[in-house]
Structure 1
Amino acid sequence: MKYSTLLLVLFMLGFAGCSDFLEESSLDEIRPSSIDDLMQIMVGEVYPLSNTVRSFQDFLTDDVECFGAQGQELMESPIENLYFLFSWDNEMFNERAGAHERVNAWKVYYNKIMGANTVLEYLDEVIGEQASKDNLRGQALTMRGWYYFLLVNLFGLPYNYGDPTENMGVPLKLKMEITGSYYRRNSVAEVYEQIEKDLLDGINLLENNPIVMSEYKINALAAKSILSRVYLYMENWDGVLRYTNEVLAEKSELTALASADEAAFVWQGSNAFGVYNMTTSNEVIWLYSNMGETSTFYTAGSFNYRAPFGVSDDLMDLYEFENDTEKKNFKDLRPFLYFSTSAYFLQGLPVYYQLYGCKCGKQSLTIGTKGIRTAELYLNRAEAYTRKFIALGDDNDRKLALADLNNLRRHRYDTRNVAYEPKDYRNGSDLLEFCKEERRRELCFEDHRWFDLRRYGMPSFTHTYFINTDNKEVITLTEEDPRYVLPIPKLALDRNPLLIQNKR
């Protein structure tokens, strides 16, 4: 069955109804008939190969900063279009916001869940080997769990805040059929319970029916990695340790940034070295997205002014980087290799700055830029050990946490001429802060920071928004601010009278 026909099938099966929040529809004609048909649905409608609803999260965090229009009239409109996101405004997903169609995560993720439900519904009816069907079922369950994990962390309170059995999460829709019924919001705990079930079932199916596929597809290691992240958010430290240990026992490699060619250690250029470039990196577990997705949010600067939005000074100050003109020891190499760098000229000299996160090599527009890497597994495990050390006082947990963190950093520092110097922390709170900062340094611009801030207790920080420097607006997200939970789009509320809007 051609993919264009499958798209029509999906639309008739309910994709339109899903975006209308599951209004009635029916289908009596063309249906998927083979495992290949369902795989096309997975690739085209379920996997997050490329869309812009993830990169908007960085504008909610302290990793992005506004630098104004700098007297350039053509910069004013791009800044205005991102105001509603940058200010955590109630209108961020509605028509008043210039970027609203690019960031409507509610609509996009529920459509992808509908795709996963369609695959699950038809698996027993199509032609194909049972092992292939079971593997695909594992992929679909894992992806459904993944999207519910994203939804509940955007539109519900953090799992570790208050009572998750009482706090509102998102509606669970687990069947393909369109009944005409409206759906209420399930609790945060109920959503997490379903996420855990989908991932556990998916892992079992993927492990028992392995198929070698590209890193753009889900396998058992990727599903276990996702589950380790879920348990991290649930503060199930033993669960984190179990699944990080299982993944790292099978795939433990980290890419040494110091092994890159000399051409990588410059601010600009075309060197392909990157931790998400499969030709230069051995730590990728799952891969998605591309540079085009991210760059759509960042208007480029010019030779005499910088871009209006870019990587915050607050983030860049966390890196122990030295601009060694003799190139003997830069220390932390991530400022070179984790960002797209631009420049403007001041008094005839270039001023370089980090525009946005880019971990697939300089100037690449096609290679995946996000996903899951072994680096995250080491960080998940280090945090679990740190939390256990704080709770129980077992010094072995402290040592294990430091071993993971120093192992990661050893692969990120310039060791061409100077050995890495390991860090040591004796106090639990200091170790936890170090762990959090290392997570921010390593995983920035991979859709972690906003969710991490939420589970860290929703701390206060500010954004300074301006077009012209004489008219700056300082916007503060206070501690435990209700705006840490995003507003449900008005269109979804209008089409489902049972949905309750978040209080902000």
Structure 2
Amino acid sequence: MKYILVLFLTLGLAGCSDFLEESSQDEVRPTTVDDLMQVMVGEAYPMDNIIDSYLDFLTDDMKCNGAQGDEQKSVIEQLYYIFSWNDDMYEKFESSNINSWQVYYSKIMGCNTVLGYLNRVTGEQNVKDNLKGQALVLRGWYYFLLVNLYGLPYNYGDPEENLGVPLKLEMEVTDAFYKRNTVAEVYAQIEKDLLEGIKLLDENNISMSLYKISPLAGKAMLSRVYLYMENWDKALEYANLVLDEKPALTALASADADAFQYQGSSSFGLYNWNVSDEVIWIYSGKREFSLYGGGGGTYPSVFSVSDDLMDLYNTSTDPNNHLDLRPYMCFYNSAYFSASFLPVLYPQYGYKGGKNQVYGTKGIRTAELYLNRAEVYIRKYMASGDDNYRKLALVDLNNIRKHRYDTRNVDYVDEDIQDADKLFQFYKEERRRELCFEDHRWFDLRRYEMPSLSHVYFVNSGNEQVITLNEGDLRYVLLIPKSALERNPRLIQNKR
């Protein structure tokens, strides 16, 4: 039996009695902690939802290839509204899956419902406390994503004044409409939720699958939150806490031979927990890449990995000297970059989970914590000139790179960059190489002073349209969906 709570399913933050809508006439209230876990799984966890699949279309990691045939034409015309940062992207794009406002507030309500029912169900106290920890960490995670979609970056202007998103922290339905809290207020709640959730998970640790929240996942999230807040000492502290417990990285060169072949079927991948040592949490699956519009034969998908991104990888046409293995093992049809065919170059099914349709495609890995720590060291080097910070940053960066290079045939040579600005640029490029298509790039661009970038869009060759996002462009902050504004008159729309 499916456990769905009264007035449970939200269609967005309305703030009054229609914040939640009744989903069924035969819902069953949970009476045990196991029942509540079923609610948690169904209503609070992402569990392969398509919720962030559009984010990469906003970045410089994607390019448009035009359409081949009527089916591709339909796909490319729909995706124009996202690719062009259009104000009506939610209304013009047919699928509601890209409405992050709706999806995330629905998940937050799932977390709030679990938290509200914990004292009403039977079960062992340590299991309840563990479940509470999961719900708090997840709620903090969703608010972190929301405020970075619909609010200005924390490091832009005054976060005490800039509008973030409304905070709804109770299960109960009221007649009040919720206004937008400030960016600083939202971040304070995120920090509070994560700290409390991590403490509960640490004190009531229960072994679960990598699709469930663990204390390590919460600490990794907190390192990212502090990084965005530019609280370097705290970002370093939590990166160290994670890496002290889970320091391993996976050497791509250790893959079986099939993983290196053109369109190979190997399931080797960084999110395949059977071969990877670095998985902390998995929250997504292969359906995330369903928007891309596949190619076939000698023509590409309608959208694919940008030349700008691919040019950052150190590659070779020599099959015995792959150098950086990431582009060969993470992008479909990109093997060897042969001139004899046109690479499709889009994240394949499984993506960093390998060439399969089983393992996750996005989540949190130890590689991110090494990158977070390296950024802290570089920022400290830039501020103080202390060369020890530079050396520590390079140790972390080179550690990641040697695990990604083809050390079967060629020894990896450590990078040694002296200039602080050049080191920071190298770090940003390495972060982009390593974490592309894992929901980082759009948020990183925002906190890196929202630089100018351009997209070239066309359906048919010869009719190219250049669309530019200017430096500091307010389109780096997404508009709140009109459907949410219509339900809540207290919401203030973002400026354009």
Q: Pick closer, same or farther for the CA change 1:241–1:16 going to 2, 3 Å.
A: closer
Structure 1 range deviating more: 389-398 or 166-175: 389-398
Instruction: Tell me which amino acid in the other structure corresponds to 2:84.
Output: S
| Contact map agreement 2:295 2:344 (CA 8 A) in 1 | no
| Contact map agreement 2:299 2:342 (CA 8 A) in 1 | no
Q: Indicate whether 1:388 and 2:380 are aligned.
A: yes
- The structure 1 segments of at least 4 consecutive aligned residues displaced by more than 3 Å after TM superposition are 16-22, 24-30
- Three-state SS of the structure 1 residue aligned to 2:468 is strand
- Residue deviations 1:433-482, cap 9 Å, x none? 11100000000000000000000000001001100112111000000000
- 2:163 corresponds in structure 1 to 168
- 2:93 corresponds in structure 1 to 97
The whole-number CA distance in structure 2 between the counterparts of 1:133 and 1:393 is 49
The whole-number CA distance in structure 1 between the counterparts of 2:15 and 2:309 is 38
| Contact map agreement 2:479 2:494 (CA 8 A) in 1 | yes
| Contact map agreement 2:10 2:21 (CA 8 A) in 1 | no
| Contact map agreement 2:9 2:21 (CA 8 A) in 1 | no
- 2:453 corresponds in structure 1 to 461
- Residue deviations 1:373-397, cap 9 Å, x none? 0000000000011001101111111
- Three-state SS of the structure 1 residue aligned to 2:172 is coil
- Three-state SS of the structure 1 residue aligned to 2:455 is strand
- 1:155 corresponds in structure 2 to 150
- 1:439 corresponds in structure 2 to 431
The whole-number CA distance in structure 1 between the counterparts of 2:447 and 2:197 is 25
| Contact map agreement 1:26 1:178 (CA 8 A) in 2 | no
Alignment of 1:460-499 (within 5 A): 460-499=452-491
- Three-state SS of the structure 2 residue aligned to 1:243 is helix
- The counterpart of 2:75, out of the listed 72, 78, 83, is 78
Superposition RMSD in Å: 1.9
| Contact map agreement 1:215 1:287 (CA 8 A) in 2 | yes
The whole-number CA distance in structure 2 between the counterparts of 1:118 and 1:233 is 29
| Contact map agreement 2:456 2:464 (CA 8 A) in 1 | yes
- The counterpart of 1:125, out of the listed 117, 120, 141, is 120
Structure 1 range deviating more: 304-313 or 437-446: 304-313
Structure 1 unaligned residues grouped into runs of 5+:
none
Instruction: Tell me which amino acid in the other structure corresponds to 2:67.
Output: A
Instruction: Tell me which amino acid in the other structure corresponds to 1:244.
Output: A
1:419 Cα offset (Å): 1.1
1:417 Cα offset (Å): 2.1
- Three-state SS of the structure 2 residue aligned to 1:351 is coil
- The counterpart of 1:350, out of the listed 341, 345, 359, is 341
- Three-state SS of the structure 1 residue aligned to 2:56 is helix
Alignment of 1:368-387 (within 5 A): 368-387=360-379
Alignment of 1:396-415 (within 5 A): 396-415=388-407
The whole-number CA distance in structure 2 between the counterparts of 1:346 and 1:144 is 46
1:30 Cα offset (Å): 4.3
Instruction: Tell me which amino acid in the other structure corresponds to 1:336.
Output: Y
The whole-number CA distance in structure 2 between the counterparts of 1:188 and 1:132 is 33
Q: Indicate whether 1:310 and 2:304 are aligned.
A: yes
| Contact map agreement 1:258 1:411 (CA 8 A) in 2 | yes
The whole-number CA distance in structure 2 between the counterparts of 1:302 and 1:418 is 34
- Residue deviations 1:62-82, cap 9 Å, x none? 001001014x23321100010
Q: Indicate whether 1:284 and 2:279 are aligned.
A: yes
The whole-number CA distance in structure 2 between the counterparts of 1:217 and 1:276 is 14
Instruction: Tell me which amino acid in the other structure corresponds to 1:353.
Output: V
- 1:235 corresponds in structure 2 to 230
1:342 Cα offset (Å): 6.7
Matched residue count? 489
- 1:449 corresponds in structure 2 to 441
| Contact map agreement 2:15 2:176 (CA 8 A) in 1 | no
Alignment of 1:1-20 (within 5 A): 2-3=1-2, 6-7=3-4, 9=5, 12-16=6-10, 18=12, 20=14
Structure 1 range deviating more: 206-215 or 19-28: 19-28
The whole-number CA distance in structure 1 between the counterparts of 2:41 and 2:97 is 20
1:19 Cα offset (Å): 5.6
Provide the identity percentage. 60
| Contact map agreement 1:155 1:485 (CA 8 A) in 2 | yes
Q: Indicate whether 1:361 and 2:361 are aligned.
A: no
The whole-number CA distance in structure 2 between the counterparts of 1:115 and 1:104 is 17
Structure 1 range deviating more: 116-125 or 47-56: 47-56
Q: Indicate whether 1:423 and 2:415 are aligned.
A: yes
The whole-number CA distance in structure 1 between the counterparts of 2:142 and 2:493 is 20
- Three-state SS of the structure 1 residue aligned to 2:342 is strand
1:14 Cα offset (Å): 3.6
Q: Pick closer, same or farther for the CA change 1:399–1:494 going to 2, 3 Å.
A: same
The whole-number CA distance in structure 2 between the counterparts of 1:319 and 1:64 is 15
Instruction: Tell me which amino acid in the other structure corresponds to 1:403.
Output: V
TM, length-normalised to structure 1: 0.94
- The counterpart of 1:64, out of the listed 62, 67, 72, is 62
1:54 Cα offset (Å): 0.8
| Contact map agreement 2:271 2:361 (CA 8 A) in 1 | yes
The whole-number CA distance in structure 2 between the counterparts of 1:406 and 1:452 is 21
Instruction: Tell me which amino acid in the other structure corresponds to 1:271.
Output: S
Instruction: Tell me which amino acid in the other structure corresponds to 1:291.
Output: K
Q: Pick closer, same or farther for the CA change 1:428–1:285 going to 2, 3 Å.
A: same
| Contact map agreement 1:14 1:178 (CA 8 A) in 2 | no
Instruction: Tell me which amino acid in the other structure corresponds to 1:40.
Output: Q
Instruction: Tell me which amino acid in the other structure corresponds to 2:57.
Output: F
1:97 Cα offset (Å): 2.4
- Three-state SS of the structure 2 residue aligned to 1:123 is helix
The whole-number CA distance in structure 2 between the counterparts of 1:16 and 1:160 is 31
- Three-state SS of the structure 1 residue aligned to 2:304 is strand
| Contact map agreement 1:117 1:174 (CA 8 A) in 2 | yes
TM, length-normalised to structure 2: 0.95
- 1:332 corresponds in structure 2 to 324
Alignment of 1:50-61 (within 5 A): 50-61=48-59
